[in-house]
Amino acid sequence: MTADDNKTLVRAAIAAVRDCAETMEVQATSLLQSLSRLPMDEGLRTTALNLSEALKDASGRVLFELALLQAEVSEGKVPIATVVERLTGMDALMMRALGTMADVVDELEKAAERDETNEGAFVLVIEAVGVLMQALEKAKAATQSLAP
């Protein structure tokens, strides 16, 4: 693989991780706005809002780290192995944040089965999680494409 090929792969991986983080931020913001207005169990609302804040926080941290990494990459200061390590860490951070949503999804599903007024919140959260999982898979695949 040539140096130009490596640069192209690095740019693509950074772009995929950025896209994932931006998607996470958009989804988290949407959840924060929508869950506040939907009829749902108050305990679940609090949990879902807190986890949505955690998603937003994770996306902000990743976007900050990406800006630093991109600056270092553009200066030619970072070996590809370090790029892979840092992007993998960012992928993992987003995966952990997304993983915390699994429990609230289960609880919202149970709540929707008991009382259909909770169904809107369940659908909203499960759709957001689905979008985020797709974005995260793309980011992870792009990061893995850099590994030797």
pLDDT tens per residue across span 67-108: 999 999 999 888 999 999 999 999 999 999 999 999 899 999
pTM attached to this predicted model = 0.92
| Residue 10: per-residue pLDDT | 92
Q: Tokens 């370090």 identify what position?
A: 82
The whole domain housing 50 covers 3-142
Does the residue 148 lie in any domain? Answer: no
Mean pLDDT value of segment 117-123: 94
Q: Who's near 140: CB < 8 A, 6+ residues apart?
A: 91, 95
- 105: CATH: 1.20.120
| Residue 77: per-residue pLDDT | 81
Q: Which of 12-16, 37-41, 65-69 comes out lowest in average pLDDT?
A: 37-41
Does the residue 25 lie in any domain? Answer: yes
Task: Collapse the DSSP code of 16 into the 3-class scheme (helix H, G, I; strand E, B; otherwise coil) and give the result.
Answer: helix
Does the residue 119 lie in any domain? Answer: yes
Does the residue 92 lie in any domain? Answer: yes
- In angstroms, the CA 125 to CA 103 distance is 11
Residue 147: which pLDDT band, with cuts at 50, 70 and 90? confident
Does the residue 147 lie in any domain? Answer: no
Does the residue 138 lie in any domain? Answer: yes
| Residue 6: per-residue pLDDT | 79
Contact indicator for 63, 77 with CB cutoff of 8 Å: no
CA 28 to chain centre: 9
- Domain count for the chain: 1
